[in-house]
Structure formats: structure tokens, C-alpha cells
């Protein structure tokens, strides 16, 4: 599986054939994604049409129009203009080059979709009874259903209330 990369302000996800920026997501055909990935592997370098043909359509004869259509689709997705390019530049009689920087995307603060977590919030409670044993208003031991990890293993988490604003966490 190919990893995501950042092309200019766009996050490109090859595994989903999509790219997104500023809340907008665009789906690309697999060969169009292949052309983008080939250009991204050589940022700022001019790639000849032959290099792109060999990388995206190995052992298949395709016309130049197929490549032109892929470049046009990329420009449309990036909202780029062939006459005044900001993302993909045509180098006359030579090929194409990517004008924007390519990098790994910055770490995202959100957890991966495969990670599920449980949360526990303990608020200070007022003891409404005269019994000092109920001073915390909750059971002294709480057992939470654990979260599944990416490998599918289930982990249990046991928390014990030891003081009004403190929780000790124990793993079995």
C-alpha cells in the first residue's frame, strides 16, 4: 500500500485514488493517479512523455492523447491553468514537471480509523447521604470495556478511584 503524500497544499492518498485540500476531496482515475505519483517522485524535474508512458503504462502502447487527458484531469483536479501553471507545467517538446513541493503529510492529531478508544471522565461528586463511605459518589473500582487495537486484540482497562480528583490506572 502506498503512503499518503503532500503535493503543494493537497494531501494525496494513492490507496484511495483521492486527494484533498481545504475540505475538498477529489477522486482520480487510477492511471491519472499513476501520472501524479510519477511526477511526485521527481518534483521539479522535467519528465519526458516516454518516462511517463513507461512508468504508468509499462508494456502497453498508448497514444499521446491519453497522457494529455491525464494531465488535463490533474489540472482540473488541482484547479490549475495550463497557460499560467502553479502545479503542473508543460515543458514544450520535452514533457511535464511538478512545480510545487512534495513531502510526507504532517502528523495528523486524529487517531487512525482502525483505533477505537474508550474514555472516562470522573467529575467531583457531592455526597448526598450521611454515609462517609459514599463520599466519592461512585464505586471504588470501575471496569471499562477495553479498546481494540489495530491488530484486533482487546485490552481491558481498570481504573480505581483513590481520591476525589485522582485516578490510578492499572493494566491487568
- Is the whole-model pTM more than 0.95? no
pLDDT band at 119 (very low <50, low <70, confident <90, very high): low
Task: From residue 58, give the alpha-carbon distance in Å to each of 2, 63, 76, 146.
Answer: 19, 13, 25, 48
DSSP state of 45: S
Cell numbers for 29: 482515475
Torsion of CA 107, 34, 88, 95, to 10 degrees: 140
CA distance 87 to 99: 5
CA distance 18 to 164: 49
CA distance 32 to 42: 16
122, pLDDT greater than 80: no
pLDDT band at 2 (very low <50, low <70, confident <90, very high): confident
How much is the average pLDDT of 144-164?
44
Domain map (residue ranges) of the chain: 5-103, 111-172
Q: Does domain 5-103 have CATH number 1.10.260.40?
A: no
Amino acid at each position: 500500500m502506498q503512503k499518503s503524500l503532500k503535493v503543494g497544499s493537497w494531501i494525496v492518498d494513492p490507496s484511495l485514488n483521492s486527494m484533498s485540500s481545504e475540505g475538498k476531496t477529489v477522486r482520480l482515475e487510477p492511471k491519472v493517479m499513476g501520472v501524479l505519483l510519477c511526477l511526485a517522485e521527481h518534483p521539479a524535474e522535467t519528465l519526458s512523455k516516454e518516462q511517463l508512458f513507461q512508468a504508468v503504462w509499462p508494456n502497453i502502447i498508448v497514444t499521446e492523447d491519453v497522457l494529455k487527458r491525464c494531465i488535463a484531469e490533474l489540472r482540473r483536479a488541482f484547479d490549475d491553468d495550463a497557460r499560467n501553471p502553479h502545479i503542473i507545467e508543460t515543458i514544450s517538446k520535452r514533457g511535464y514537471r511538478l512545480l510545487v513541493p512534495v513531502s510526507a503529510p504532517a502528523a495528523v492529531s486524529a487517531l487512525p480509523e482502525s483505533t477505537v478508544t474508550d474514555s472516562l471522565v470522573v467529575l467531583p461528586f457531592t455526597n448526598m447521604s450521611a454515609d462517609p463511605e459514599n463520599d466519592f459518589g461512585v464505586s471504588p473500582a470501575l471496569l471499562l470495556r477495553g479498546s481494540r487495537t489495530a491488530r484486533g486484540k482487546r485490552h481491558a482497562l481498570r481504573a480505581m478511584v483513590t481520591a476525589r480528583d485522582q485516578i490510578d490506572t492499572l493494566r491487568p
